[in-house]
Amino acid sequence: MWGGRFSMSPAEVMQEINASIAFDKALAPQDIRASKAHASMLAAQGIIPKDDARKITAGLDRILEEIAAGRFRFSRALEDVHMHVESRLEELIGEPARRLHTARSRNDQVVTDFKLYVRDWIDAADPALAALQLTLARKAQAHYDTIMPGFTHLQSAQPVTFGHHLLAYVEMLARDRGRFADARARLNECPLGAAALAGTSFAIDRHATCAALGFDRPTANSLDSVADRDFALETLAAAAITALHLSRLAEEIVVWVTPQFGFVRLSDEFTTGSSIMPQKRNPDAAELVRAKAGRITAAFQALAMVMKGLPLAYSKDMQEDKEATFDALASLRLVLAAMTGMVEDLTPNPEAMRRAAAAGNSTATDLADWLVRVQGVPFREAHHIVGRIVAVAERRGVLLSELPLSDMQAVSPRISEAVYPLLSVESSVGSRTSFGGTAPQNVRKMARTWIKRLEKASEKG
């Protein structure tokens, strides 16, 4: 492809390290889409004959059909997807194919293809993220008043509801969707026409190719156009944060299904057995969701390291941008589907959850709040009083709700029988009515709000 400048073929190891077709063939649909837009613009500007543009378009359509049908032959000898398409086009239509590369370079060609790929992925991923949100919100609605322990430091803290816990992940995923939407908005500038790095002397119409490919505007600087991989970095950063959120939920599922917790159960569809221990039911799907977070986060780090020291404009280092990105984005789509299936599949055990919520004197804060609200005790003093009462309960091996009033009054005479109803987990969660709190009425309202919003967006979809 570089013609007369070279008199020798590349060494075998050079071909091995240089070829990218094994992974960048995934860009074929985007490459053909961009090439058709480019050919149409060249013809409209009188740069190539309109008849040639028609032949180019027809040939590109045929190539796309061949790829879709699995009849297209890929060879490492042609290095990358761009040269495969161009070579096959010449086989199909002859000389007009040689005019396609007028006023463009592989530098602006590949970044355009890559942007289209990432944009297509974001557009397909958003409904998958929304589907997981909807599954979580529906499960939350069904369990708006199912009591479970809330944890800090993985120690029992205060009772919450299972629905409230699930809605926390709905909020996380909403932020994830926002990050992808922001990344999409910033990437939606078309680099085609920047050529190798300096633009072109041909009278091209970059706004026409931009519009044909659905971009908002052409990129404004030819150097930045071919040097930029921020769009991939930003999308990978959003993917990494999403994967971390999914990993946190996966970790909780792994803990919850243990016999020691027994909070939820997964069916045979999302568990596996053991080759030696007949009793085992392993949450492998959740464990793999958890593990793939490392793979996805590593892709962001890998691309950041590729880009950190590159001078403007294009360097071959940037060929390393795609393989890890493709893998990370494919992995994220897979774990989204797996997590959606698991959330829909899991069956809570309300009795085990409530029993755990009541353990560990998780309503101690309610007693301190009562001293503040009813007796006017400063909170720090109330905190100290209740801490001493908890110590007494622990020495006696009973819960606060089981501790005799005389023992409480020995610490603080202000305490009366009125505190006992407040020490139940039901009373505790019911009292948390502040906006965003775990009170069942709040949870039911918020779950309904999310369900309505997500279903409405899906219908518009």
Enumerate the active-site residues.
153, 274
Number of Cα atoms under 13 Å in the Cβ half of residue 47: 20
Which is it for the CA torsion 25, 27, 32, 34, positive or negative? negative
Task: Let me know: does 225 contact 194? Beta carbons within 8 Å.
Answer: yes
SS3 2: coil
Would strands 264-265 and 347-348 be described as parallel, antiparallel, or unpaired?
antiparallel
* Residue burial 292-322, b: 16+ Cβ < 10 Å; e: rest: bbebbbebbebbeebbeeeeebbeeebbbbb
- In angstroms, the CA 31 to CA 22 distance is 15
Q: How many CA atoms lie within 13 A of 45 on its CB side?
A: 18
Looking at the DSSP assignment, which residues form a beta bridge with residue 152?
A: 155
Cα 155–chain centre separation: 28
Q: What angle do CA 306, 311, 313 make, to 5 degrees?
A: 95
Q: Residue 278 is encoded by which pair of tokens? A: 């007949």
The rounded Cα 334 to chain-centroid distance in angstroms is 10
Whole-Å CA distances, 314 to 18, 326, 385: 15, 20, 67
Tokens found for residue 230: 């921020």
CA gap 311, 306 in Å, rounded: 11
Amino acid identity, residue 304?
A: A
CA distance 306 to 159: 47
Specify the DSSP element, H or E, that contains 264. strand 264-265
Query: Using CA atoms, how far apart are residues 147 and 353, in angstroms rounded to an integer?
Result: 6
If DSSP codes are grouped into helix, strand and coil, which group holds residue 196?
coil
Tokens read off for 312: 């403007």
Quote the CA–CA distance of 390 and 387 in Å, as a whole number: 5
